[in-house]
Structure 1
Amino acid sequence: MNTTIKKEIYQNLPDELVRLTASLEGREKDIVLLSSIGAISSILPNLRIEYRGDNYYANIFLMIIAPPASGKGKMNLALRLLKKIHEKILQDSGELRDICLSQSKKKDCPPVSLKILPGNISCAKVYKHLNDSNHGLIIFESEADSLSGMLSQDWGNFSDVLRKVFHHEKISISRSTDDLLFEVNSPCLSLVLSGTTNQLKPLIKSNENGLFSRFLYYHFNDKTYWKPASTQSENESLKGNFELLGDKLFALYGHLVSQNLEDLKLTTAQMSKIDSEIGNIHDKIVDSGLEYFTSSVKRHGIILSRIILILSVLRNIDEIMKGKEIEVVDIDVDNAIELIKLLISHALSVYDIFDNENNILTENEQLIFNELNFEFKRFEAIEIANKFKISERTTDYHLSRWVKNNIITKVSNGCYRKESRETARVANFAILARE
């Protein structure tokens, strides 16, 4: 079973994203694409998309979960897309504040503003920066525990803030200790995080926490292999592509902040297709007894609409700069649907980390497990494993581990039966990833 992004998706991306990912392969290619989409979601002011009666800005919460030294550090390339915008906002607001302070009007001086917010920050500061920001913020951290530390502070329930900000709901805070009062209407915040499974749990706390269902997940636990170092020219070419797009996005951001609010609309046919695809996944989840996961499926529909908005903008940067209105084209809707269908299966995999980390199957295990009948014999598992060039000894190890962790039951010597809950989860993971 393939849990990487399909080649067809890459072939149909807007040209700007094709250039960013063309020289990469495998997981690194996927990580760069998703982190770039997450970064860009924070810099499209005054643009929204209508989805099921509500209007949403582009902001996305993304979490990349993988073992240490597995290539997820490539996500930091996406920061280059934000660099000039962040520096310009910081410089301009700092200059205005310095002028004000030099005139001794300290109480009335404007605050210093940011685009990129550090993860290691207090909850009160998050409110303040959201209040001070004109067009939203992003927290971009390659180590998720930078944010987890702030979430664990007794006096700041930042999880509640994130749940509301995902929907752009009003947030407010009032604290008498430091005479603090903020009300932020339509807050906009993007999150791009990466970490290990151990760093995930302190951040999300529980799969029943509403914060879980608001994230887009990309999860893998592959074996790591030594990778030859890239040449300097390859690295410079890759960085150069990000800086070129960063320059275009800097100009686009400057144009959009001066424009009136615009809402992109999906056609009736496009919305019907989305309803059909997401509804089909929703019904498969319910039929399999996995009702607990339906909130994630529904919110992936919202995220899907945001990805459509981002793809539409990237496909039409030149037209937007000329003041032309843009329309959502079918290719971007289809691409977003296929991407979300895969990432729902990733979210389903992450969900079970909270229940029993030992029950998560590796990709090799999933290859075997997904083709086994509900009741099967050892020789059948070995025959399936041989198709994927997995040895008999390794297959026996998998079988013993599955028995130990209640993934399967040993009925008699050489005969096994899948446990119903794990069967439903893995079967759905396979179906969703394959569709």
Structure 2
Amino acid sequence: MSKKIFSAQDWENAPSEILQTHTPDIVPICNKVKDDVESVVREIEQRGIDIAPNYKDWVELGFALVDGLGENGREYYHRISRFYPTYQREGTDKQYTHCLQSKGQGITIRSFFHLANQAGISLAPSNKEHLSILPNIQNGKTGKWIKSEEELPAFPECVFEHLPPFLNEVVNNSISVDDRDTILIGAIVCLSVCFHNVCGVYDERIVYPNLYLFVVADAGMGKGALALCRELVVPINRNLHELSKRLEQEYKEAMAAYIKSKKDSGVTMPAEPPMRMLVIPANSSASSFLKILGDNDGIGLLFESEGDTLSQTLKSDYGNYSDVLRKAFHHELVSLSRRKDREYCEVPNPRVSVALAGTPEQVRRLIPDAENGLMSRFCFYIIRFKRGIRNVFATSDISQSKNAMFKLLGDKFCYLHEEFVRQGNYSFFLPSDLQEHFIEYLSRVNEECCDEVDNKMQGVVRRMGLIAYRIMMVLTTIRHLENVHRNSSSHDKTEQLVCHEFDYSIAMSICETLLYHAVFIYRNLSGNQSKRFNSASQETGIYARRNTLYNMLPETFTKKDYDAQVSSLGENGSTANKWIEAFIKDGKLCRIEQGKYRKIF
């Protein structure tokens, strides 16, 4: 659908009926926005800078200009893009048209200014009225990753355009944006435990697709959608239970025969059968949890719709297996020893997935502070508060209920999964061009998050990279499921699953959204926000760190002195070099001569 273009005057005079019924298809052209874009583009042209050197930034640039200027941003897109070495007008035109026709993607005009600022373009506003459209510029800093609860993004529409067929069926049962997002990430996490025969190599270590998730929302805001995702693995779990019952019955019969003929020295005592299950209750003791994992070859899904169940269990002496979860995330050997009954459990290759839902306070009880290792291991998705009541009588047909639909999907997945497991083992591979893009993107995001929040965000970003890789594994495997019955490969040969560009793009888009939510949780747990999740800090970590560095500097210093202080604080050298110019612009510093500076008080 083409968007209707309104001028600033048209927008101000538009009848209320138009504003109420056509807002999603209207792009207001704000003269102030256009003036600021024009000013920045002129500087880009004067300096000949390519502010979007990689594909993802270039696409984001298009959506940003569409958000702020609609069709009027097309020529700006060409003016900026032509500094890319292989610029083509036709391809650029086609990409901008695609951005116009897509549904927003959650990217705003602020992204344009952020990209320009990252490339070294000055964003000092010509007057205070223009300040509001710039990307959170305060005291010379930008805050791309720091959002209030109301600003936290949902998954962009592009995520849902090329999902694997089975996942597409799953999310089609959603009733809202948050419901769709919760069901998608919940399904990916719940299904991740089922692909224990798929592995890849990440950071020189063998990894499996297992993921940890915490859906965060106030009471009654829709986090219950996660419970539907459990239905996808219930048939597999039920089959394991039935197997356990048969083994238990065989054990009882063998034990009775042993007791009856114990005088016969040739009869050996039967071994106790394993307790087979896929879904493990969080309300388990540490020894029980490890025993179940051991009985299931290290495979299990810890699922709870109330995060308190797990947090209360972890606080008890008998149930404190927080360290087990931290180790299991990286498939490290987990073990437990109890003096009583000379009990010892060891699981050499745990492949555990975790799916939890709870309130903001329940997050705090499970993860008391940002230093806790569980914080960076979890994906967080925050469902924002929305006032209103939905139609709870949309259907009265039991067969059309969400429970019934997800049970059918669970049966279908179980059928596909049986043949998939029977085929043998699989290795996951990410093509080299996508590997290069992945490293480039993760490096840039790491710099941004460390600059805007603090250096400890590096641990969160690094693990988000691993999470993205695992999501790619899940998406690639689910896409393969539909074709597994036509696969005639040998059962004793490991088959390679190559990541499709669609699945790479989907995983990266999902993880970028999750990273915004993780930053929000991290800052809350670090004490940078008030107790409630929806209050925003007035200054970002980078500003406080710059002040710390400035206060450590002597009245007069050289570049060598400055670099030594930067190193002592553990700051990134290239980032800190930009701060000198910021100090000069703020009137805190003056340059005496080349490489020599004096503080201004």
Provide Cα deviations, 1:230-287, integer angstroms capped at 9, x if missing partner: 3134972644442333223212332344343321111111111111222111011122
Which whole-Å CA distance do the structure 1 matches of 2:226 and 2:425 have between them?
30
Q: Please state whether the residue corresponding to 1:112 is helix, strand or coil.
A: coil
Quick one: structure 1 residues 60 and 361, their matched pair in 2 at CA, closer, same or farther if it must change by over 3 Å? closer
Does the CA contact (< 8 Å) of 2:431 and 2:498 recur in 1? Answer: no
Counterpart code for 1:349:
F
1:122 to 277, 285, 293: 285
Which whole-Å CA distance do the structure 2 matches of 1:234 and 1:102 have between them?
42
Which whole-Å CA distance do the structure 2 matches of 1:109 and 1:300 have between them?
41
Q: Does 1:89 align with 2:240?
A: yes
Q: Please state whether the residue corresponding to 2:214 is helix, strand or coil.
A: strand
Shift of 1:214: 0.4
Quick one: structure 1 residues 205 and 289, their matched pair in 2 at CA, closer, same or farther if it must change by over 3 Å? closer
1:17 to 167, 171, 190: 167
Provide Cα deviations, 1:296-325, integer angstroms capped at 9, x if missing partner: 110111111111011111112122233354
Does the CA contact (< 8 Å) of 1:5 and 1:342 recur in 2? Answer: yes
Length, aligned pairs only: 373
Equivalence for 1:338: 509
Shift of 1:421: 3.3
2:426 to 253, 257, 262: 262
Q: Does 1:236 align with 2:408?
A: no
Does the CA contact (< 8 Å) of 2:192 and 2:474 recur in 1? Answer: yes
Counterpart code for 2:212:
F
Does the CA contact (< 8 Å) of 2:311 and 2:366 recur in 1? Answer: yes
Counterpart code for 2:408:
L
Which whole-Å CA distance do the structure 2 matches of 1:87 and 1:361 have between them?
38
Does the CA contact (< 8 Å) of 1:31 and 1:74 recur in 2? Answer: yes
1:226 to 371, 389, 392: 389
Shift of 1:157: 3.3
Q: Does 1:42 align with 2:193?
A: yes
Equivalence for 1:272: 436
Q: Please state whether the residue corresponding to 1:172 is helix, strand or coil.
A: strand
Does the CA contact (< 8 Å) of 1:218 and 1:346 recur in 2? Answer: yes
1:60 to 194, 211, 229: 211
Provide Cα deviations, 1:328-363, integer angstroms capped at 9, x if missing partner: 11110011001101101100101122215527674x
Deviates more, 1:346-355 or 1:256-265: 256-265
Does the CA contact (< 8 Å) of 1:219 and 1:350 recur in 2? Answer: no
Does the CA contact (< 8 Å) of 1:264 and 1:327 recur in 2? Answer: yes
Provide Cα deviations, 1:182-203, integer angstroms capped at 9, x if missing partner: 1111111110000001111121
The percentage of aligned residue pairs carrying the same residue is 28
Q: Does 1:33 align with 2:184?
A: yes
Which whole-Å CA distance do the structure 1 matches of 2:480 and 2:361 have between them?
40
Counterpart code for 1:236:
Q
Equivalence for 1:391: none
Which whole-Å CA distance do the structure 2 matches of 1:182 and 1:350 have between them?
34
Q: Does 1:291 align with 2:442?
A: no
Which whole-Å CA distance do the structure 2 matches of 1:222 and 1:424 have between them?
30
Equivalence for 2:500: 329
Q: Please state whether the residue corresponding to 2:524 is helix, strand or coil.
A: coil
Does the CA contact (< 8 Å) of 2:327 and 2:333 recur in 1? Answer: yes
Quick one: structure 1 residues 135 and 244, their matched pair in 2 at CA, closer, same or farther if it must change by over 3 Å? farther
Q: Does 1:101 align with 2:252?
A: yes
For structure 2, the 5+ residue unaligned runs are 1-150, 259-268, 490-494, 546-601
1:3 to 132, 153, 172: 153
**Radius of gyration: which is bigger?**
2
Which whole-Å CA distance do the structure 2 matches of 1:59 and 1:252 have between them?
19
Quick one: structure 1 residues 235 and 292, their matched pair in 2 at CA, closer, same or farther if it must change by over 3 Å? farther
Quick one: structure 1 residues 318 and 189, their matched pair in 2 at CA, closer, same or farther if it must change by over 3 Å? same
Counterpart code for 2:185:
L
For structure 1, the 5+ residue unaligned runs are 366-401, 409-418, 426-435
Which whole-Å CA distance do the structure 2 matches of 1:30 and 1:49 have between them?
26
Q: Does 1:348 align with 2:519?
A: yes
Shift of 1:55: 2.1
Equivalence for 1:203: 366
Which whole-Å CA distance do the structure 2 matches of 1:243 and 1:163 have between them?
32
TM-score by length of 1: 0.80
Counterpart code for 1:421:
G
Which whole-Å CA distance do the structure 2 matches of 1:423 and 1:155 have between them?
44
Q: Does 1:319 align with 2:483?
A: yes
Counterpart code for 1:22:
N
Which whole-Å CA distance do the structure 1 matches of 2:509 and 2:272 have between them?
48
Counterpart code for 2:368:
K
Which whole-Å CA distance do the structure 2 matches of 1:161 and 1:77 have between them?
27
Quick one: structure 1 residues 155 and 109, their matched pair in 2 at CA, closer, same or farther if it must change by over 3 Å? closer
Shift of 1:156: 4.3
Does the CA contact (< 8 Å) of 2:298 and 2:349 recur in 1? Answer: no
Does the CA contact (< 8 Å) of 2:452 and 2:542 recur in 1? Answer: no
Shift of 1:107: 5.7
Counterpart code for 1:140:
F
Equivalence for 1:358: 530
Quick one: structure 1 residues 319 and 361, their matched pair in 2 at CA, closer, same or farther if it must change by over 3 Å? same
Equivalence for 2:220: 69
Quick one: structure 1 residues 420 and 344, their matched pair in 2 at CA, closer, same or farther if it must change by over 3 Å? closer
The ranges of structure 1 where at least 4 consecutive aligned residues each deviate by more than 6 angstroms after the TM superposition are 422-425
Shift of 1:135: 6.0
Equivalence for 1:51: 202
Which whole-Å CA distance do the structure 2 matches of 1:121 and 1:156 have between them?
7
Task: Indicate the structure whose relative CO is greater, using CA pairs within 8 Å and at least 6 residues apart.
Answer: 1
Equivalence for 2:308: 145
Which whole-Å CA distance do the structure 1 matches of 2:322 and 2:298 have between them?
21
